[in-house]
Amino acid sequence: MNIKSPHPRARLRAVCKGYGEGINRQEILHDIDLELHEGTLTLLEGPSGSGKSTILNILGLLDRADSGDIELDGRIIVDLPEKKLARLRNEEIGFIFQTADLIPRMTALENIRLPLDIQGTGRRRADQRVMEILEKLNMGELAKQPPEKLSGGQRQRVATARALVTQPKLLVADEPTSSLDSENAVQTVSAIQDLCHMMGTAVILATHDNRLRQHADVILSLRDGNLAAPATSNASRKY
Ligand SMILES: Nc1ncnc2c1ncn2[C@@H]1O[C@H](COP(=O)(O)OP(=O)(O)OP(=O)(O)O)[C@@H](O)[C@H]1O
Ligand SMILES: [Mg+2]
């Protein structure tokens, strides 16, 4: 059961980020303001090199902004030592990347359970939590399979389950479907949306794939360092 928070799950305020010095300086993000809300899937579009991964890495506390504020659940994250950042990443943020990176000699269930094992959750409770998520993904019968017996789409859904099993406040998904065919891409994002609505997780998902728009609650487009709702978008800001 999630207790509704009065704050956005994550927020960027006036975030700037660039690379290089002097005349080689390249500004990537200009004064980015962004709010991610509980149980909402936000799709982040933009051309290659526009800074989508840079935004996701800042939100996931994997990279630091040059200026501006990052908030998680109303707490401003500023100048925290790496150990504290690692704890926040582990306890409050889930990640999905382009490839599932599952551990080969472990079953789907064991792969998904790993973050709970690291947190010290008891085996019975952990297995129950994993099976609940697998059932939601219609993958219950695959729990005992190792990754090499799963399709690409099934593997990416196992990675989704692994990212969400700890019930993170925020899920950061960087092109999670770029290696999947169209049908599997849509199925995977639909599963992510269902789970985020159910668990109250705020999701930000970067993609180049227009077909995923139907599964977004909010669509944002990144261009020339600025964020906007795209003109062609039919998803309104419902939250
Ligand atoms: N560590 C770095 N040092 C210098 N420049 C960088 C670094 N990381 C990213 N960049 C530059 O920042 C810009 C934005 O990169 P980013 O990876 O965020 O784009 P993206 O929108 O995710 O692109 P793609 O769709 O190809 O994944 C690019 O011009 C990239 O070359
Ligand atoms: Mg990227």
Tens-place pLDDT, residues 71-103: 999 999 988 899 999 999 988 999 999 989 999
44 in Cβ contact with 97 (< 8 Å):
no
Whether 143 maps to a domain, the answer reads: yes
Give the CATH number for residue 55: 3.40.50.300
Interval 166-186 mean pLDDT: 94
Whether 236 maps to a domain, the answer reads: no
pTM of this structure? 0.91
| pLDDT for the residue numbered 220 | 96
Residues by chain with Cβ below 5 Å of ion ligand 2: 52-53
Q: Which of 12, 26, 54, 227 to mutate to test the pocket of ligand 1 (most atoms within 8 A of CB)?
A: 54
Q: Which of 205, 201, 199 is nearest to 218 (CA)?
A: 205
Whether 233 maps to a domain, the answer reads: no
Name the token pair of 178: 């770029």
Evaluated on CA atoms 192, 193, 194, 197, the torsion sign reads positive
Which residue range is the domain that position 203 belongs to? 10-228
DSSP readout, 49-96? TSSHHHHHHHHTTSS--SEEEEEETTEE--S--HHHHHHHHHHHEEEE
Whether 239 maps to a domain, the answer reads: no
Report the pocket of ligand 1 as residue ranges, CB < 6 Å.
19, 28, 46, 48-54
Number of domains in the chain: 1
Residue 4 pLDDT class (50, 70, 90 cuts): low
Ligand number nearest CA of 21 is 1
Q: How many CA atoms lie within 13 A of 188 on its CB side?
A: 32
Whether 83 maps to a domain, the answer reads: yes
Q: Which of 28, 29, 177 to mutate to test the pocket of ligand 1 (most atoms within 8 A of CB)?
A: 28
- The residue nearest atom 11 of ligand 1, judged by CA position, is 49
* Residues 6+ away with beta carbon under 8 Å from 12: 32, 33, 34, 55, 58, 59, 65, 68, 69, 70, 71
Whether 194 maps to a domain, the answer reads: yes
Q: Which of 24, 44, 52 to mutate to test the pocket of ligand 1 (most atoms within 8 A of CB)?
A: 52
Whether 2 maps to a domain, the answer reads: no
d(CA 61, CA 214): 28
Whether 5 maps to a domain, the answer reads: no
Full strand arrangement of the beta sheet holding 226-228: 93-96, 170-174, 202-206, 41-45, 218-223, 226-228
Task: Please state, rounded to an integer, the average pLDDT across all residues of the chain.
Answer: 91
- The residue nearest atom 29 of ligand 1, judged by CA position, is 49
- Quick check: 232 pLDDT over 60? no
Written as one letter, the residue type at 111 is N
